[in-house]
Amino acid sequence: MNKAALRRAALARRNALAPAEVARRSQQLSEQLFRHFPVAEWRWLHLFLPLSQRNEPDTWLIIRRIWAAQLPVRLAVPVVQPDGVSLKHYELTPDTPLHPNRWGIPEPAAGAAAEVPPTAFDAVLVPLLAVDTAGHRVGYGGGFYDRFLAQCRPGTQFIGLSVLDEAPVPALADVLPTDVPLHACLTPSGLWRL
């Protein structure tokens, strides 16, 4: 199957979920992350802030759990740059002021947070719509995450998050040389090592 067909099908299935179902599955994703990964041992965790109107996983559940438990891991989130193709990454704390970008995604306000280099991250939580058994993901198609993940240091864990409770597909037909594979994918019911 190719990425465009998988993207259309996955978006339709995800958009059909009721908000309460997305919330339930997001809670399960948070539990899966803490069950399968040593979150408290990481120094830096990169995650995305959800676009709730698109039924993305609610990563605020993970963020609030880390803050409530006062875990030593520090958090960072992406900010789309004015060039429209690249990301920079900024620390997220309970005091970081956020504002929506042109897509409605919350981002730290300009100058309100410290920039964090891609080489700092121990783990990156990656949004996805589908993934294959080799770890190649289907996202929205902009290539933002592939460019970012290529800048991370060796050993950084790339973990996909999906509210769709689906197994990886056998293989994507149109993998590009610039695609960076994930190491794992979390769904509400479990973990896929890729």
The full set of domains in the chain, from first to last, is: 3-193 (3.40.50.10420)
- Tokens in use for 138? 């289907």
pLDDT of amino acid 23 = 96
pLDDT of amino acid 124 = 98
Average pLDDT over residues 115-129: 96
Whether residue 18 has pLDDT greater than 80: yes
pLDDT of amino acid 37 = 97
Whether residue 177 has pLDDT greater than 90: no
Of 13, 4, 15, the closest CA to residue 172 belongs to 4
- Tokens in use for 52? 């709730």
Whether residue 31 has pLDDT greater than 90: yes
Q: What is the SS3 assignment for 77?
A: strand
What is the CB-side half-sphere exposure of residue 137 using CA atoms within 13 A? 28
Q: Give kind and range of the element (H or E) at residue 14.
A: helix 3-15
Average pLDDT over residues 109-132: 92
Whether the full predicted model's pTM is greater than 0.85, yes or no, is yes
Is the CB of residue 123 less than 8 Å from the CB of residue 37?
yes
Confidence of residue 112 (pLDDT cuts 50, 70, 90): confident
Average pLDDT over residues 146-153: 94
Taking the C-alpha atoms of residue 67 and residue 65, their distance in angstroms, rounded to an integer, is 5
pLDDT of amino acid 111 = 82
Average pLDDT over residues 39-53: 93
Whether residue 84 has pLDDT greater than 80: no
Whether residue 191 has pLDDT greater than 80: yes
* Helices 60-68 and 19-36, packing angle to 10 deg: 50
Whether residue 120 has pLDDT greater than 80: yes
Which 8-state DSSP code applies to residue 11? H
- In this structure, which amino acid lies at residue 42? W
Taking the C-alpha atoms of residue 96 and residue 113, their distance in angstroms, rounded to an integer, is 7
- Tokens in use for 186? 């979390």
